[in-house]
Structure 1
Amino acid sequence: MSNLVYTSNIKIKRKKGSLRHAYLPAEKEPVQFGLHGAIAKHYGVSDTIDDPHATTIDYLISAVGGCLTGTFGGALKVRKIDADNDKLTSDVIGEVELEDNVLVIKRILVKYTLLAEEKDRKTIERVHKIHKEYCAVYKSVYKAIDITSELKIETI
């Protein structure tokens, strides 16, 4: 059994229609959730809505990508490989399918691009293979979502 180390307290306010505000710890302004595109269309709302916002699905996908990118970058930093100042970027692709008429995130692909020295390639590749196991968000959702990553190293 694990020990509780953190409790996240978040307030959600439903504003109008699909628009919700989430008040997150350490953020001065609320995060807005809404609808757009194919997700709006699925819920019977015009896919050209006047005030589109990222959906909760988008936020979950970005949380996975953001946590993995941070974990990978942090692991590189420990090994004295600089991944700051936009040297490490990621493109995160989430695939959502219909399951019992419910939108479900099935796959997330995180595509890293890292600007690094050739001498660090083997270390970078080794870190890439293991970094997911140290990511809090990955460890929280990987049993429900197929999460993979790819790495492209551009030498400097």
Structure 2
Amino acid sequence: MSNIVYTSNIKIVRKKGALRHAYLPAEAEPVKFGLHGDIAEHYGVSDSIDDPHATTIDYLISAVGGCLTGTFGGALRVRDIDPDNDKLSSEVIGEVELEDNVLVIKRILVKYTLLSAAKDRKTIERVHKIHKDYCAVYQSIYKSIDVTTELNIETI
């Protein structure tokens, strides 16, 4: 058994219907989980959702994209390639399928756009090939969800 290096303590409070508040570490305000769109329709409540919020599925997909983007940016930074000030962005696309009438995240695609000097292209491509190996969220879920990344480098 490995040594525990962090324990996340989160409180979830069910407010009304699908609306839940998650009280996360280091956040002053709760994060709201709810329903919207196709997911609300799947649960048969799309007509009664008057205050739509991102779902827990949306948050999991965004956590994967956020962690991968942060890991990629951090790896670039240590190689003196600046990913900050909007130079690195990502579009995260999660595909959810119905499996035994349960919504299941099957695939996540993270599409990076990086503004960088042409001289850094080879280093950036090398970092892109390995960065997933160092992402905590990716390493936690990749055996269950197919996660891929694409890279578009725009020369500045």
TM-score (norm 2): 0.98
1:118-133 matched pairs, under 5 angstroms: 118-133=118-133
Partner of 2:138: 138
Q: For 1:70, give the aligned amino acid.
A: G
Q: How far apart, CA to CA, are the structure 2 residues paired with 1:132 and 1:25?
A: 25
1:97 maps to 2:97: yes
- Over 3 Å counting, the alpha-carbon distance change for 1:121 and 1:48 in structure 2 is farther
Q: Is the 8 A contact 1:36 1:48 kept in 2?
A: no
1:44 maps to 2:15: no
- Provide structure 2 residue ranges, at least 5 long, that are not aligned to the other structure: none
Instruction: Give the RMSD, CA atoms, in angstroms.
Output: 0.8
Q: How far apart, CA to CA, are the structure 1 residues paired with 2:9 and 2:91?
A: 29
- Over 3 Å counting, the alpha-carbon distance change for 1:58 and 1:47 in structure 2 is farther
Helix, strand or coil for the counterpart of 1:103? strand
Q: How far apart, CA to CA, are the structure 1 residues paired with 2:25 and 2:4?
A: 18
Q: How far apart, CA to CA, are the structure 2 residues paired with 1:35 and 1:137?
A: 23
- Provide structure 1 residue ranges, at least 5 long, that are not aligned to the other structure: none
- Over 3 Å counting, the alpha-carbon distance change for 1:144 and 1:47 in structure 2 is farther
In the TM superposition, what whole-angstrom CA distance separates every residue of 1:119-141 from its partner, at most 9, and x where no partner exists?
A: 00000000000000000000000
1:85 maps to 2:72: no
Q: How far apart, CA to CA, are the structure 2 residues paired with 1:44 and 1:143?
A: 31
Q: How far apart, CA to CA, are the structure 1 residues paired with 2:2 and 2:131?
A: 21
Q: Which runs of 4+ in 1 moved over 2 A?
A: none
Q: How far apart, CA to CA, are the structure 1 residues paired with 2:153 and 2:137?
A: 24
Could you tell me the percent identity over the aligned residues? 85
Q: How far apart, CA to CA, are the structure 1 residues paired with 2:138 and 2:112?
A: 16
1:112 maps to 2:112: yes
In the TM superposition, what whole-angstrom CA distance separates every residue of 1:87-140 from its partner, at most 9, and x where no partner exists?
A: 000000000000010000000000000000000000000000000000000000
Q: How far apart, CA to CA, are the structure 1 residues paired with 2:43 and 2:14?
A: 17
The offset of 1:42, in angstroms, is: 0.4
